[in-house]
Chain A
Amino acid sequence: DQQVKQNSPSLSVQEGRISILNCDYTNSMFDYFLWYKKYPAEGPTFLISISSIKDKNEDGRFTVFLNKSAKHLSLHIVPSQPGDSAVYFCAASSYSGGGADGLTFGKGTHLIIQP
């Protein structure tokens, strides 16, 4: 049973427009969410994160929105640039007695920015 879902395997957006990547989760114990960018045969690169006590976090062109009641989060990239083309993973974590747990990842969305 997949606890973090990214239902769009790919997304194509025109350069300069807004890219919106979506993520849903089922485990209500998750209290921290992260977005990573990944190229083939490389490790993920951290982009932005959000705590469950917030509903929005912004960092430059990247904004993450969290809707706890819907168990849904989204990553907005604006304006989209060619260098943004990559696979984006949504990840979630919870805090247990010994510290934050390992991350649970979605399957990723391949974002393609078209010139």
Chain B
Amino acid sequence: GAVVSQHPSWVICKSGTSVKIECRSLDFQATTMFWYRQFPKQSLMLMATSNEGSKATYEQGVEKDKFLINHASLTLSTLTVTSAHPEDSSFYICSARDRLWASVYEQYFGPGTRLTVT
């Protein structure tokens, strides 16, 4: 149980284009999902908290107009990187919290999406 998927797992795009990354909880409902970013040999950094049916909450320093988050259902959140630039190249990982069973603190992570902007 508690499986989170991400799609795509790997994407290359040209500078200036937009890319959408999907995060799905496959066997549980998630009222809250989180988006993280990891640069090579660095820690995972929280970008935003996504709550189903409401606007996402962004961490300080993360541009909300650049990283659009939509949490339209209890099993799906999407992150759209708009007008991507090479510095946006990173490993993007989502996580989800099981609203019924898990501790309010525990998060289950997706496998991540490697974004490369050329």
Which residues of A does B touch, CB under 8 Å?
A: 32, 34, 36, 41-46, 49, 89, 93, 95, 98-108
Contacts and interface: CB of A to CB of B under 8 A. Distances in A.
A32 B97 CA distance: 15
7 contacts: A34-B106, A41-B91, A42-B111, A43-B110, A44-B109, A103-B95, A107-B42
Interface of B: 4, 6, 32, 34, 36, 42-46, 49, 51, 59, 91, 93, 95, 97, 103-112, 114
Contacts of B114: 41
Contact of A45 (B6, B51, B91, B109): B109
A100 B112 contact: no
A93 B105 contact: yes
Contacts, number: 62
Interface of A is mostly: strand
A13 to B, nearest CB: 21
A49 B34 contact: no
Nearest to A93: B105
Contact of B97 (A89, A100, A106, A107): A100
A98 B106 CA distance: 15
B42 A100 contact: no
Contact of A105 (B44, B97, B108): B44
A106 B45 CA distance: 9
A45 B108 CA distance: 7
A44 B44 contact: yes
B46 A95 contact: no
B93 to A, nearest CB: 5
Nearest to A31: B105
What 8 pairs between A and B have smallest CB-CB spacing? A43-B109, A102-B46, A32-B105, A105-B43, A100-B104, A105-B44, A107-B43, A100-B105
A43 B93 contact: yes
B112 A41 contact: yes
